[in-house]
Chain A
Amino acid sequence: MNSFGSNTGGGGLDPTSGFSPADATSPRLMPAKSRPTTALVLDQHQVQQHQDNESLSSDEFMLSSSASPVIKDIEPRKGITSTIHSTKRPLEDFPLSSPEHPRTRHLGSGPDQDPNSDSSDEADGRLTDTDTTDHPPSSALQSLREIEEHDRDDRQIHGIETRFRAILASDQDQNSEAGYSSDPHPEAALNASQIQDKLKVLRPKPSNSSSRPKSRLRRTVSTKSYDSDDISNNYGGYQKHFGDENQTTGSWTAHRKHFFILSSAGKPIYARYGDESRISSYMGVIQALISFFADNDDTIRCINAGQHKFVFVLKTPLYLVCVSRTGESEVQLRDQLGYLYSQIISVLTHSQMTKIFEQRNNFDLRGLIGGTEIFLDSLGKLMNTYAGFMLGAIQCLTMPRALRDKVGAVLGRAKCKPLLYAILLTPTQLITLLRPRKHSMHPADLHLIFNLLSGSTTFESAESWTPICLPRFNNKSFLHAYIHYIAKKVCMVLISPDKDSFHEMSSVRQKVVEELETSGMLTSLESYAAAGSRGGFSVGDTGILGLRHFLYKSRINFQFTMPELTDPYACQSPRKRLLRQYQYMHERMHRKARPLKLLFHNGEHEAMLGWITSNFELYAAFGPFVSKNAVVQMTNKLLKWIRKQEDNLLILNSPNFEKFK
């Protein structure tokens, strides 16, 4: 493999050295992965420096551009908030996000968040203004210098720029120094014969859940997402998908993206693939890497090694790590780890988890989150298929605004005292959300609710009542969610701070369902939900030939819409490729060092256009042979169509309970 490998592998050590470290390393062959791993530590310094440089200049760019990175989209700052206040009447918007919440942490918070974002830019006119005044469509498109043409290779070239070659030489030195190859002086090995062992004992998941704070989500395994063939690791009824894999199986290493969650003592908590306890030696390596940097008051963030990215999110007492070769950016992977973290918080609350680890830093958390791994699994799966996480936005069900308003009014009139939020949704799309005027809901919290529904079919059969912590709302305590499907694919979620309000919530549901039924709205809802599960509308509806697909996000409402994934994106692999293309465009345009307002990318399979203004983000895919001019024209046409349909595609007037008092 390389000289490093042969150095140790061919050493021919004295097996009598027993427990000495020299022996422990001798007789085994170096697995193929050793090179990148060795490169890690060397890479890191440079990567860190590189990032620091970037962050130095990022503020300037932020100020001169309305484009802001993902993090900002989901975590708006006061500047934005206040300006919107002054320019709009309160009830006209649907800002799902809460403004600065002193207690919540930023998902991917970095030191370089810009506190003085250009709020006036953010708050300028709506779409209508934007098209005509701020960004005159075609002329602006043509004249903007930011238009960049890329061929597919660009992505790789850029990747290489930011990657750093490892210098293996020093490792080899260390190796021979350590006497790993044939050692002429046995005494030297004797001196090295003292080792210190650290043991971490992990108990298997306890079968009784007496220590669990409450009976959490039922452990029924969804037959839909879990094949009975996949069973291998069966803890308390939880049958882990891919659970039979470990680092020695080819299928395990073949996965393009791994997630690992461990406690800051290095005990495994969750692995996306494989049995987390069987790959716990990797958790040790992760722990050692993190600790190595922590000792120098440094924080390891990301390692680039060849095609792989190793992204670390440290949320003591938890460490979250992603190892990916999907081409997603560090920021995107960091966000995804943040969502996994939020999922764990939603089960435990931040305060409870901190308290537990304060009492015992060697605590094995798996017992407490037991039964909820399917939601981590489904989150991992969703983040590979659903653009909402990348956009930090919620997808809305396409339906006539009039119907949406009427349904919202029914919910609004059913308000009872302990009801905090009333949400109607399909497993992936929002129908309507009623909220107190002062308490908006953050898209990241809504994503957790969506994940709850898509992660398990258990809610489809009965009325459910479950404690849930919505970290952006309040990470210290639980809210309680009443979940019931009132029609096929139409789910009602009623959220209350009062744990004893199940029956009140149930009667709210009854009242709402009766009214929706008698007015015939329930049937319409059901048919829109059915259509919505296919996509709601198709690109054909826009009447633009050559347009294949698009994502449109309203930056004011934190909502997005997209058409059905039809041919050529009808099956899984081109679909995934399209998402990766969107992710690439998104990353490129939100790059801190040089954000772009406009990007044209001519790829092998499709031509992509990205366009970001203060009001919206648009990412559109066209056929690969469409000219830039044609793309520009089609994009303008598309924006016109969206503006016309916006009322039905998005929820522009967020209703709140006070309206119905």
Chain B
Amino acid sequence: MNQYVNKKFSNQYKATIGADFLTKEVMVDDRLVTMQIWDTAGQERFQSLGVAFYRGADCCVLVYDVNNAKSFETLESWREEFLIQASPRGPESFPFVVIGNKIDMEESKRVISQKKAMAWCQAKGNIPYFETSAKEAINVEQAFQTIAKGALQQEGEVEIEFPDPIKIDSDTSKDFGCAC
């Protein structure tokens, strides 16, 4: 994250409420979009930020550490948790992205294989999967491109209808009456 947004933001909030807030402008298909990236802590000791916090999100990114089996195993519960909290319209099609991070560590430390991770992603409705190194800036840009594209899909049209005109004459029951 830091790698991606390059220190443009500060981390001052995480200590209190367990989240980082970043903004990144990114070009997606010749279109400049501003991405609001809200990075919430995975640790349970941070208090829940509440249902309202997740509502209206356009994309959810799940990050685990390829050198840590537990972090991979909890992906499922995070995904479910998100879908419950954010309750997006059409949860089946809601865009997720999974990132396996810290691939820069020695091969011997790695405990989750790419194959295993991709199999999980496929089972969950073909979630795009990236392996990144934040330290060495491997794949970070690409991952965020996919994230931004996924999020943009969520931006559907809304029907906007002109409200009915006010009928003043039939309004007799309403007491708009002045105080005189």
A residues at B contact (CB < 8 Å): 4, 8, 15-21, 23-31, 33-34, 37-38, 40-41, 76, 80-81, 84-85, 88-95, 97-102, 171, 174-175, 177-178, 180, 190-204, 211-214, 263-267, 277-285, 287-295, 349, 351-352, 355-356, 359-364, 368, 420, 435-440, 473-474, 476-479, 497-499, 654
Contacts and interface: CB of A to CB of B under 8 A. Distances in A.
Interface in B3-19: 3, 7, 9-19
Nearest to B102: A18
Interface in B41-69: 41-43, 45, 47-65, 67-68
Interface in B152-173: 152, 154-168
A194 B12 contact: no
B34 interface: yes
Given A201-B152, A277-B23, A295 B50 contact: yes
Contacts of B41: 21, 192, 195
Contacts of A290: 52
A436 B176 CA distance: 10
A477 B165 CA distance: 6
Given A200-B38, A439-B177, A497-B165, 14 more contacts: A8-B15, A29-B10, A85-B179, A178-B15, A193-B63, A193-B65, A196-B42, A196-B62, A196-B63, A201-B152, A202-B33, A263-B56, A279-B23, A352-B161
9 contacts: A21-B14, A25-B14, A37-B12, A195-B42, A196-B40, A280-B36, A288-B53, A295-B51, A349-B163
B158 A356 contact: yes
Given A21-B39, A287-B52, A440 B21 contact: no
Contacts of A25: 11, 14-15, 20
Given A295-B51, A497-B167, A16 B156 contact: no
A213 B78 contact: no
Nearest to A359: B158
A265 B52 CA distance: 7
Contact of A201 (B9, B22, B58, B175): B58
B84 interface: no
A96 to B, nearest CB: 8
A99 B53 CA distance: 37
B2 interface: yes
A351 to B, nearest CB: 5
B178 interface: yes
A74 B136 CA distance: 61
Contact of B7 (A18, A27, A94): A27
A204 B37 CA distance: 16
Most B-side CB within 10 Å, residue of A203, A212, A291: A291
A293 to B, nearest CB: 8
Contacts of A499: 165
Contact of A16 (B38, B63, B105): B105
Nearest to B175: A99
B178 A198 contact: no
B180 A288 contact: no
Nearest to B53: A291
A211 B180 CA distance: 43
Contacts of A474: 166
Nearest to A203: B33
Which of B37, B38, B99 has the most C-beta atoms of chain A within 10 angstroms of its own C-beta?
Answer: B38
Contact of A194 (B11, B42, B45, B133): B42
Nearest to B86: A198
A438 B178 contact: yes
B63 A294 contact: no
Given A21-B43, A88-B180, A214 B162 contact: yes
B32 interface: yes
B61 A93 contact: no
Nearest to A349: B163
A200 B38 CA distance: 8
Nearest to A80: B179
Interface in B128-155: 132-135, 147-148, 151-152, 154-155
B31 interface: yes
A196 B60 contact: yes
A194 B78 contact: yes
A361 B12 contact: no
Contacts of B101: 18-20, 193
Contact of B158 (A34, A171, A192, A360): A360
Contacts of B104: 16, 18
Contact of B36 (A34, A178, A267): A267
A360 B88 CA distance: 9
A203 B55 contact: no
B82 interface: yes
B135 A15 contact: yes
Nearest to A558: B179
B152 A95 contact: no
Contacts of B57: 198-200, 265, 362
Given A199-B147, A287-B52, A281 B9 contact: yes
Contacts of B152: 201, 203
Contacts of B32: 204
B113 interface: no
Contacts of A214: 162
B119 interface: no
Nearest to B163: A477
A18 B47 contact: no
